[in-house]
């Protein structure tokens, strides 16, 4: 299999019987496909193409879906990599000004031209270290990536083999995540010039760092997290200004044992969204400026996994078996309303729903394994009032 191969359209459009929303399943191959992690924008070419990872012919590669025709173009030709560096094409970032995507392949950080398929290695992480999220600065000058020392390579490889993508290399739940957090590995945030050149360590500390997310508008500002069980880490959400080298906490805990996370940037590149839960079970949606100003937080009685919003007006989440929407009315969140039913098992990061709005808010992309393999779906967002309400826990519809 070579890059540049074009697969005919596999898509299937339907009306969700539970909500009436129009949904298009973009992939139907007998292999797993996924869209990018919800913090990373996967549309490009004026939002007419969508970048995905896809397993085809016993390899995992980046592919591009033409949203006008449904055709799927294979962009890379990546040989399988041994553990603990499997081809894991979820944490991929697209250059903000050029049609180039950046990702980890083995120990390398690479760029691929989305028009020609030309692959360019930029930097190799040190031996004995692992990589996590890859992102690009708003000015397009740097790829930023978090890396951390693997405390025990043999044990880490074994956990990765037994737990799959959710092994100790990645941010999952349960034993692998806790073991990596307890090891307190030396971690670094590294920025690599997109035009080539020496990599630079811009932050380092003796704790597990993950989810390095660059602001989409502020070139020197990024968030990162102290990874691990949310209620046990010293603090989850951090901001780093690479121009000054200063880092600070964002949205400090209000009570001991509070869980706050799944942080992401709003489209303005200034506000950070998140959700959380207090020990008494009270749950919150929130947003705050990167400098801790303009905090807004609202209680809600619903479960949600990952969540995303372009701003604070409409939020999408993947609680339960539905993709859910909440609408801010200036004082509280209305909803949730069910956009569509996903029914994904969520048994692995690759099958997490990870819903994400398109930049105009008119579509939501998500992944589900309900067809038997992980497949990529796009749902059209109708008028909020047209969607069915989901009753609060303990209240009948």
Structure confidence by residue, pLDDT tens digits, 263-282: 999 999 999 999 999 999 88
Q: Looking at the chain, list the stretches that DSSP marks H as alpha helix, in order from N- to C-terminal side.
A: 153-163, 175-183
For 348-362, what is each residue's pLDDT tens digit? 888 899 999 999 999
Closest CA to 370 of 340, 342, 348, 339: 342
Asked if residue 168 has pLDDT above 50, the reply is no
Calculate ∠ Cα 333-394-318, nearest 5°. 50
Which secondary-structure segment (H or E) carries 190? Answer: strand 186-193
- What are residue 20's phi and psi, to 5 degrees? 85, 0
**In the numeric block, which tokens belong to residue 392?**
């609060």
Q: What is the pLDDT of residue 1?
A: 43
Tokens of 162: 């037994």
| pLDDT value, residue 364 | 98
Rounded-to-integer distance, Cα 164 and Cα 169, Å: 10
Q: Are 388 and 337 in contact (CB under 8 A)?
A: yes
Question: Cis ω on the peptide bond leading into residue 131 (within 30° of 0)?
Answer: no
pLDDT in tens, 97-137: 999 999 999 999 999 999 999 999 999 999 999 999 999 99
Maximum C-alpha span of the chain: 60
- Nearest one of 40, 32, 65 to 51, comparing CA atoms: 65
Domain boundaries, the chain: 1-35+307-397
pTM of full prediction above 0.85? yes
Selection from 28, 105, 93 nearest residue 374 by Cα: 28
Angstrom distance (rounded) from CA 169 to CA 137 = 24
Sign of the Cα torsion 255, 256, 259, 260 reads: positive
> In Å, how far are 20, 44, 160 from 176, measured between CA atoms?
40, 34, 8
Closest CA to 29 of 89, 74, 88, 76: 74
pLDDT at 296: 96
CA 371 – CA 343 distance, rounded (Å): 10
Q: How far apart are CA 92 and CA 37, in angstroms?
A: 8
pLDDT digits (tens, 9 = 90+) for 195-234: 999 999 999 999 999 999 999 999 999 999 999 989 999 9
Q: State both tokens at 61.
A: 């590669």
Q: Yes or no: say if 75 and 112 are a contact pair by the CB < 8 Å rule.
A: yes
pLDDT of residue 86: 81
Write the pLDDT tens digit of every residue in 58-104.
999 999 999 999 999 999 999 998 878 888 899 999 999 999 999 99
What is the CB neighbour count within 10 angstroms for residue 71? Answer: 16
């Amino acid at each position: 299999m070579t890059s540049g191969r074009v697969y005919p359209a596999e898509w299937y459009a339907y009306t969700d019987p539970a909500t009436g929303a129009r949904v298009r399943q973009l992939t139907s191959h007998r292999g797993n496909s996924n869209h990018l992690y919800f913090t990373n924008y996967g549309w490009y070419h004026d939002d007419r193409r969508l970048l995905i990872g896809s397993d085809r012919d016993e390899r995992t590669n980046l592919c591009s879906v033409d949203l006008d025709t449904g055709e799927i173009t294979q962009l890379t030709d990546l040989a399988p990599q041994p553990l603990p560096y499997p081809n894991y094409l979820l944490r991929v970032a697209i250059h903000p000004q050029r049609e180039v995507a950046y990702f980890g392949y083995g120990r390398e950080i690479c760029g691929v031209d989305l028009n020609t398929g030309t692959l360019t290695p930029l930097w190799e992480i040190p031996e004995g270290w692992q990589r996590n999220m890859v992102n690009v600065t708003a000015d397009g000058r740097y790829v930023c990536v978090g890396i951390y020392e693997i405390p025990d390579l043999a044990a880490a490889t074994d956990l990765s083999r037994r737990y799959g993508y959710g092994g100790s290399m990645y941010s999952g739940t349960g034993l692998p995540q806790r073991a990596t957090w307890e090891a307190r590995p030396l971690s670094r945030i590294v920025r690599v010039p997109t035009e080539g050149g020496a990599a630079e360590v811009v932050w380092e500390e003796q704790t597990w760092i993950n989810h390095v997310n660059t602001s989409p508008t502020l070139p020197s500002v990024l968030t990162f997290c102290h990874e691990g069980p949310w209620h046990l880490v010293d603090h989850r959400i951090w901001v780093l200004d690479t121009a000054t080298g200063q880092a600070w906490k964002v949205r400090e805990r209000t009570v001991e044992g509070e869980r706050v996370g799944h942080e992401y940037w709003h489209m303005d590149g200034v506000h950070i969204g998140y959700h959380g839960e207090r020990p008494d079970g009270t749950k919150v949606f929130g947003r705050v400026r990167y400098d801790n100003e303009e905090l807004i937080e609202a209680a809600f009685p619903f479960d949600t996994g990952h969540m995303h919003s372009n701003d604070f007006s409409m939020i999408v989440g993947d609680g339960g078996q539905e993709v859910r929407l909440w609408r801010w009315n200036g004082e509280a969140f209305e909803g949730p309303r069910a956009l569509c039913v996903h029914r994904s098992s969520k048994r692995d990061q690759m099958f997490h729903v990870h819903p994400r709005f398109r930049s105009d808010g008119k579509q939501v992309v998500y992944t589900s394994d309900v067809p038997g393999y992980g497949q990529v779906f796009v749902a059209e967002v109708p008028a909020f009032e047209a969607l069915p309400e989901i009753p609060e826990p303990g209240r009948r519809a």
